[in-house]
Amino acid sequence: MVRVRISDLLNETGIDLRDYSKMKGRLILQLLSINEIGQILDQIPHRKVEDMVLICRFDLGTANDGLLTALVTNKFLDLYGIDEKQLFHDAMLVAESNRPSIINKMDDILLGLLLEAGVFIDMDWGSSPFYVASVTDGCNGACVICYPGFLDRAANKIGGDFFILPSSIHEVLLLPDNGMLPKEAPEYLESMVREVNQTLAPDERLSNMVYHYDSKAKVFETARHFEARKRLQS
């Protein structure tokens, strides 16, 4: 993702970043680790999501290095005369249309990769319980968990409550909470996430935590908080 400085208000594509009436239709979301963005957090409109941070960017099209974007800072808000609430309201309105969310079974993704590589299998190789959630181009797709209605759509597809494993800033894994997992599941899943994070560049890591969505109570929280809440209710 190519970044553009606010001083470059009129980029080479002819898009005028000074006109919010046009730019608000180009808003996209990005979910990052608070460790990655924390040093400049006071300069950026943001929403905290547990130990993660949701920010906004402008989609300026594509360049040779990929998607061209501009980070929305407080300076932009001052320029436009809007507040953070208005910014995120507008960003949520166009989130799904600008960068559509997808949910695929892990098995289907792996099979597709094998076929793409010319590997053909004729055997029952088992079934993974995981789903992968991202955006259509797979870049910075972990933000889909913040899209309006996404968690409920995922619950409908998966069949109820689920755990959320932040495998990177590009995607998250969804695991059905169908009552078949042992009570030590949150600790085990966290160890899986930590192992995966060790293979990623620091700016690709999202979190070491595992989250949970309670589809009946409509609650997104850490898996540890969910387990504690469940114990109090029992």
Question: Pick from 65, 80, 98: which residue ends a domain?
Answer: 98
Regarding whether 196 and 111 lie in a shared domain, the answer is yes
- Lookup result for tokens 């300026």: 60
Residue type, 114: L
For residue 159, give its domain range: 101-233
Check whether residue 94 and residue 160 sit in a common domain.
Answer: no
| Whether 53 and 105 share a structural domain | no
Specify whether 63 is located in the same domain as 137: no
The predicted model gives 142-157 an average pLDDT of: 97
Region 76-82 average pLDDT: 96
Distance (Å, rounded) from C-alpha 175 to C-alpha 166? 11
- Do 126 and 197 share a domain, yes or no? yes
pLDDT at 28: 98
Q: Report how far Cα 33 is from the mean position of its chain's Cα atoms.
A: 11
Residue 138: count other Cβ atoms within 10 Å of its Cβ.
11
| 109 in the same domain as 72 | no
**Other CB atoms within 10 Å distance of the CB of residue 165:** 22
| Mean pLDDT computed over 167-180 | 90
Length of the chain: 234
Whether residue 114 is found in the same domain as residue 214: yes
Same domain for 80 and 118?
no
Q: Which residues pair with 194 in a beta bridge?
A: none
Instruction: Say what the pTM is.
Output: 0.86
Same domain, 130 and 229: yes
Task: Flag whether pLDDT at 72 surpasses 50.
Answer: yes
| SS3 readout for 107-147 | HHHHHHHHHHCCCCCCCCCCCCCCEEEEECCCCCHHHHHHC
Helix residue spans in the chain (DSSP H): 20-23, 34-37, 74-80, 84-98, 106-116, 150-158, 185-197, 223-233
Tally of domains within the chain: 2
Question: 63, 98, 133: which is the final residue of a domain?
Answer: 98
Give the pLDDT of residue 186. 80
Residue-wise over 11-44: b if at least 16 C-beta within 10 A, else e? beeebebeebeebbebbbbbbbbbbbbeeeeeeb
Last residue of a domain, one of 51, 69, 98: 98
Cα 140 from Cα 1, distance rounded (Å): 9
Tell whether 16 and 56 lie within a shared domain: yes
Is the pLDDT reported for residue 38 higher than 90? no
Q: How confident is the model at residue 179 (pLDDT cuts 50, 70, 90)?
A: confident
219-222 and 52-63 strand pairing:
unpaired
Q: Give the pLDDT confidence of 95-115 residue by residue, as tens digits.
A: 999 999 999 987 754 544 444
Q: 53 and 129 share a domain? A: no
- 228/200 same-domain check: yes
**Residue 125 pLDDT greater than 60, yes or no:** no
